Amino acid sequence: MKKRILKNMDWGILICSLILFAVGLVALLSATQNSDYEEFRKQIQWFLICIPIFLIVVSIDYELIAKFSPIYYGIIIILLILVLFTEEKNGATSWFDLKFFQFQPAEFAKVAIILFIAYIMTKLQKRKKTDINKPLRLLAVIVSLVIPVLLIVKQPDYGTAMAFIVAFAFMIFVSGIYKRYIFGAILAVVIIVPILFIYVLPDHAKKRIEVFLDPNLDPRGSGYNIIQSKLAIGAGQLLGMGIFKGNQTQLGFLYPKTTDFIYSVIGEEMGFLVAGGVVVIYVTLITRAIYIAKTAKDDLRFIYC
């Protein structure tokens, strides 16, 4: 068993993940020094918790994991419904607070729902790959995505919902769908997105998109954090200002520096070389994942990767 796991392990992905974790940990150490390193300690705790989970998952055959994906899917849907009745946090009902730890079901959903969709796609293609194009079968796949996405939008968490849609688009594209469906979907997006933006999207969401595209529209309000993040990255120059020495990071101009703008902390305190290296490592990680998908022995692994 151990030899099989070691033989099948993609060491490139593991090494890239560990390097990214180490860089992120150093940045988090610096970003949390004024708050008793609370989030830094949590990151360490979750890493230690994940080690046995990682070892268990890699030792189980992926087909067995996929076989139980309908159960994971059902549990996630229940959690996504229940979380809507929790107390608001930063304007959203996205978190379960169990006192001793907090968790966001939408994050677990990223694995469970994509695995479930990959599983049902392969089941619907059991006879031949083009079976996915039958209207009722295609509708079943789409509905399996729409349900969790609508629940996540309800929280609201538009970023995570969009991540699901993008992932689904790639999965359906490689599953053998007819080109007419692809062109039809692109046309629908071109027509529907402007309508949704103008008539459906709430004002605060519109403002976030507009300010993201041009932070100077509201430099002292919604655009402030983006502008500060750019200043932080620029201040780092080639080698950085040094750990614990970043002006934007340590003087409170960068917020939230431990989550959304952690990359700005890296750019300011570690410089362009490390920040650029992070991008290179991510590209390597994605390239390795694509290679695994291309060399997969069956459709389940191919679509899931």
d(CA 48, CA 31): 21
In the prediction, which pLDDT does 2 show? 57
Polymer length in residues for the chain: 305
Model pLDDT, residue 278: 96
Rounded-to-integer distance, Cα 98 and Cα 81, Å:
17
Strand, helix or coil for residue 228: helix
Peptide bond into 105 cis (omega under 30): no
What does the pLDDT read at residue 37?
86
CB 66 within 8 A of CB 300: yes
How many contiguous H segments (helices) and E segments (strands) does the chain have? 14, 2
Rounded to 10 deg, the angle between the 105-124 and 135-154 helix axes is 180
Q: Is the pTM for the entire model greater than 0.95?
A: no
Domain boundaries, the chain: 1-59+215-298, 62-201
pLDDT of residue 48: 92
Block means of pLDDT (10 residues each) for the chain, 305 residues, are 65 91 94 86 89 85 85 92 83 77 84 89 75 82 91 86 87 82 86 84 80 86 89 92 90 87 94 95 92 84 83
Q: Residue 45 carries which side chain, given as an amino acid letter?
A: Q
**pLDDT at residue 34, rounded to an integer:** 80
